[in-house]
């Protein structure tokens, strides 16, 4: 390509999205604008994402979070990706709510390994009040260790978010999972508005929002753009944005889905960074299957948080020593 053509190409790219990078929170992203980001040449997209990342974050710092399943299996929902659904046959044994002592012990171990945030997940459609009382005690105890606290407990009823806030919860995770028009292909036991309603309760209670999605579920690039647009247009957008790459588990409906190209996953990270500049963008599920080079590209694209430890809720995760070695290779350090 001659210099004139290069200049014309750069100008065209700028006309597409240049004015949108760093735009005001009140402005909304259209799906077409987000898709235009996805469509940029790979190097151009990563360059833009790294520029945005450096404006708002230490480019060589990563937050280490540990996720513990405090109640496993038996969920009545039919999420097509989830081995914890009682409707699927993925070989996950049901486990009652862990004791306060078990959770505090796990949190203390996570802190000793370098984690700064401790996330607690329960396989519920939504918590019953007596279970929420016990989780509130866990939150208070974990926060007393000096860790940020996060919980993912399903849909919340009126007053429950306020109880979690009073217990000391810093973040509540409730993912949108995918674009609205694809949601019904993945989940039928609740609708998109149910998720938005819970997020509104969390915001109204003064709890930070952790909200992202899953890619690699057979969606198109435009549907991935639709997910990012939904997240970026939340008012305000989430402080924490986990991007999950589908972990295919035998016995779930999505087992056998064509795997997402790794570079498309990197693009998703970059687009999330550009559209949500101040958020912590987290590499979540699927990282165990990613080569180190792909993870390095994700950090270059703007990821600055990882789940850290041997497993997520029920699926594998790179061991802590491997993670430490990778961060050392890259000259990165924990937040």
- Rounded to the nearest 5 degrees, what angle is found at the Cα of 173, between the Cα atoms of 27 and 279? 40
CB 241 within 8 A of CB 274: no
Q: CA-to-CA distance for 150 and 237, rounded, in angstroms?
A: 17
Annotated catalytic, 298? no
- Rounded to the nearest 5 degrees, what angle is found at the Cα of 106, between the Cα atoms of 101 and 108? 95
CB 25 within 8 A of CB 237: yes
- Residues 254-264: tens digit of each pLDDT: 898 999 999 99
- Residue-level pLDDT at 3: 35
User: Chain centroid to CA 17: how far?
Assistant: 24
Q: CA-to-CA distance for 21 and 38, rounded, in angstroms?
A: 13
For 67, other C-beta atoms within 10 Å of its C-beta total 25
Q: Choosing from 117, 190, 210, 273, which is the catalytic residue?
A: 210
| Residue 58: both structure tokens together | 């230490």
Ramachandran angles phi, psi of 223, nearest 5°? -70, -35
- Residue-level pLDDT at 217: 96
- Residue-level pLDDT at 291: 94
Please count the residues of the chain.
335
Q: CA-to-CA distance for 125 and 110, rounded, in angstroms?
A: 27
Q: Choosing from 224, 273, 282, 287, which is the catalytic residue?
A: 282
Please report, for residues 22, 159, 242, the alpha-carbon distance to residue 205 in angstroms, rounded to integers and kept in the order given: 28, 9, 21
pLDDT digit string (tens) for the chain, length 335 residues? 443 343 344 444 444 444 455 455 558 999 999 999 999 999 999 999 999 999 999 999 999 999 999 998 778 888 888 887 867 776 677 888 999 999 999 999 999 888 999 999 998 989 999 999 999 999 999 999 999 999 999 999 999 999 999 999 999 999 999 999 999 999 999 999 999 999 999 999 999 999 999 999 999 999 999 999 999 999 999 999 999 999 888 889 889 899 999 999 999 999 999 999 999 999 988 888 899 999 999 999 999 999 886 554 445 445 788 888 999 999 999 98
DSSP secondary structure code for residue 116 in this structure:
S
Q: Choosing from 48, 150, 224, 287, which is the catalytic residue?
A: 150
Annotated catalytic, 82? yes
Q: CA-to-CA distance for 263 and 248, rounded, in angstroms?
A: 18
Q: CA-to-CA distance for 195 and 218, rounded, in angstroms?
A: 21
**Residue 68: strand, helix, or coil:** strand
Residue among 49, 52, 61 nearest 268 (CA): 49
DSSP secondary structure code for residue 167 in this structure:
H
Annotated catalytic, 195? no
Annotated catalytic, 273? no
Sign of CA dihedral 119, 124, 126, 127: negative
Burial (Cβ within 10 Å: 0-12, 13-18, ≥19) of residue 4: exposed
Q: CA-to-CA distance for 309 and 322, rounded, in angstroms?
A: 10
- Residue-level pLDDT at 7: 36
DSSP secondary structure code for residue 306 in this structure:
E
Sequence-distant (≥ 6) Cβ neighbours of residue 321 within 8 angstroms = none
Sign of CA dihedral 140, 143, 145, 149: positive
CB 283 within 8 A of CB 303: yes
What's the whole-model pTM score? 0.89
Please report, for residues 57, 109, 114, 293, the alpha-carbon distance to residue 122 in angstroms, rounded to integers and kept in the order given: 31, 20, 23, 32
């Amino acid at each position: 390509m001659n210099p004139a053509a290069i200049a014309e190409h750069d100008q065209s790219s700028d006309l597409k999205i240049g004015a949108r990078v760093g735009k005001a929170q009140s402005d909304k992203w259209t799906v077409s604008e987000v898709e235009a980001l996805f469509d940029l040449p790979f190097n151009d997209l990563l360059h833009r994402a790294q520029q945005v990342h450096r404006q708002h974050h230490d480019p060589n710092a990563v937050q280490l979070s540990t996720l513990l399943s405090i109640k496993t299996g038996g969920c009545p929902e039919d999420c097509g990706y989830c081995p914890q659904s009682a409707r699927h046959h993925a070989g996950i044994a049901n486990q009652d709510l862990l004791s306060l002592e078990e959770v505090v012990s796990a949190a203390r171990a996570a802190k000793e390994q370098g984690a700064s945030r401790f996330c607690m997940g329960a396989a519920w459609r939504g918590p019953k009040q007596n279970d929420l009382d016990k989780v509130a005690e866990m939150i208070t105890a974990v926060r007393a260790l000096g860790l940020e606290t996060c919980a993912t407990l399903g849909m919340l009823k009126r007053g429950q978010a306020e109880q979690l806030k009073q217990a000391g919860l810093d973040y509540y995770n409730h993912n949108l999972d995918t674009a609205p028009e694809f949601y019904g292909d993945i989940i039928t036991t609740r609708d998109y508005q149910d998720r938005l309603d819970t997020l509104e309760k969390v915001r109204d209670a003064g709890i930070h929002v952790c909200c992202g999605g899953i890619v690699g579920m057979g969606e198109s690039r435009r549907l991935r753009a639709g997910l990012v647009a939904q997240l970026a247009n939340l008012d305000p957008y989430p402080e924490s944005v986990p991007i999950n790459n589908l972990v295919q588990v035998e016995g779930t409906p999505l087992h056998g889905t064509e795997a997402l190209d790794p570079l498309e996953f990197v693009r998703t990270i970059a687009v999330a960074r550009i559209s949500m500049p101040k958020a912590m963008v987290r590499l979540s599920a699927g990282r165990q299957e990613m080569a180190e080079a792909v993870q390095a590209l994700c950090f270059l694209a703007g990821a600055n948080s990882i789940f850290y430890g041997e497993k997520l809720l029920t699926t594998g995760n790179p061991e802590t020593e491997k993670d430490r070695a990778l961060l050392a290779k890259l000259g990165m350090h924990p937040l």
